[in-house]
Homo-oligomer: A and B are copies of this chain.
Amino acid sequence: MKAEILTIGDEILIGQITNTNSVWIARQLNMAGIRVIHMASVADDKEAIITAFENAQKRADLVLITGGLGPTKDDITKKIFADYFKSPLIINAEVLNDVTRFFTKRNREISEINKKQALVPEGCTVIRNLNGTAPGMWMKKDKTIFISMPGVPYEMKAMVTDFILPKIKSENTLPHIYHKTVLTQGIGESTLSEIIEKWEDNLASKNIKLAYLPQPGIVRLRLSIYGTDEQKIKKAVEEEIQTLIPLIEKYVYGFENYGEETVTLEQTVSELLRKNNKTIALAESCTGGYISSLFTAIPGASEIFKGCIVPYTNKAKHELLKVDENLFTTVGSVSKECVEQLAQNVLKIFDSDYAIAVSGIAGPGGATAEKPVGLVWIAVAKKEKVYSAQFLFGENRQRNIVMTANAALNQLRKCILKTLH
């Protein structure tokens, strides 16, 4: 099955927003064994959209379209979509119901403009939108399926995951594909590739593809294979992973299984805490609340997360977190002594089982002769013990914050698993 992804919107062509929908859709289709052969972006312009539809129909079995479905006048996709299939737009009762409920729930009155969201081409399969007001629309022309979706990422993603892929899989025989991703923290891409070079050279003969997917502080290694025998391809990948693990064991913090969403370090750690019935508190200086925001973004966070203090000044470190004032004039706040006190004291303040404390120079300002931008101290405490370590990241502030968070989360993971020394 060959697919094309078409994104519609002036904002893409003038370079105002980065097209992240296409890459996300491409990844989902690939994992389902569907080949993406073309991606295109066109403006909110009738002729351009119709030409794009015609070209897509020539080469693809499946065309996934996003954008241009809003209630405002600049959004013209739906009208053109209906014209292309020579189907008049009619009110769909179910969609009208959904749209009405969407507004009622928010104590807002539904306007005439919003009622128009319930118009869909006659004969189309409606894809319900539980996160917004524009429905998805599934139509077939000759042998090609065209699916129009809103451009708002989370509305589109829910449609792809909950409706479109299940329907396509149930109606087509797709080749088997198997992925597994090994998650590593604390080692760079090039060092990693040197360590596993021989193992990697051996993969081609087994038809396994390896991809390095780097993020700040993290490298994900994805092994993928296509084939007809589901059990056989799965076994081939799992065997290679067993050979790989011993080479890089101390960096591995988890796996992503086929079809699963990316597992973040904060999810891994939160799950560990939950399973052990333990809680966490944080004292974040250079990360300024970022690590806490990662924990609390996860549903059910209150079961494991007790709280955080961001003491951005020395005064706050002393008054709120009882850090010995003399430290600031001797070793400074970016020091082993300071983070260890922060971790031990925030643990007591929130009466948690574990605590994380970080203090560092995120940059671009704040460096001294001895302490460059990127220098960070991280401490992890439990009731009976505190561990700390120094890290030297890079020069970019935002990247240093993310790298500090990932390093701290992995230190906590090891602490819970009793592999931190």
A interface, CB within 8 angstroms of B: 10-20, 22-30, 36-43, 45, 48, 51, 55, 59, 70-74, 106-108, 111, 113-114, 131, 133, 152, 154, 179, 188-191, 193-194, 200, 209-214, 222, 224, 282, 284, 287-293, 295-297, 299-302, 305-313, 315-316, 320, 349-351, 362-366, 392, 394, 396-399, 401
Contacts and interface: CB of A to CB of B under 8 A. Distances in A.
A305 B312 contact: yes
A18 B23 contact: yes
Given A11-B213, A13-B36, A18-B20, 10 more contacts: A15-B25, A15-B28, A17-B23, A111-B191, A111-B194, A113-B190, A113-B193, A300-B365, A306-B312, A307-B320
Protomer copies:
2
A310 B292 contact: yes
> Majority SS of interface residues in chain A?
mixed
B40 A14 contact: no
Given A19-B19, A288-B296, A312-B296, A39 B12 contact: yes
Contact of A38 (B27, B40, B392): B40
Contacts of A297: 288, 290, 397-398, 401
Q: Which 7 A-B pairs have the closest CB atoms?
A: A288-B296, A15-B27, A289-B289, A289-B292, A15-B26, A308-B310, A290-B293
Contacts of A301: 288, 312
A42 B37 CA distance: 6
7 contacts: A19-B39, A40-B41, A113-B194, A288-B292, A296-B362, A302-B366, A310-B310
Nearest to A220: B16
Contacts of A131: 394, 396
Contacts of A310: 282, 289, 292, 296, 307-310
Nearest to A31: B15
Select the residue from A25, A70, A107, A211 with max chain B CB neighbours within 10 A: A211
Nearest to A192: B72
Given A13-B37, A212-B74, A392 B106 contact: yes
Contact of A36 (B14, B36, B189, B222): B14
Contacts of A59: 51
A207 to B, nearest CB: 15
A349 B287 CA distance: 20
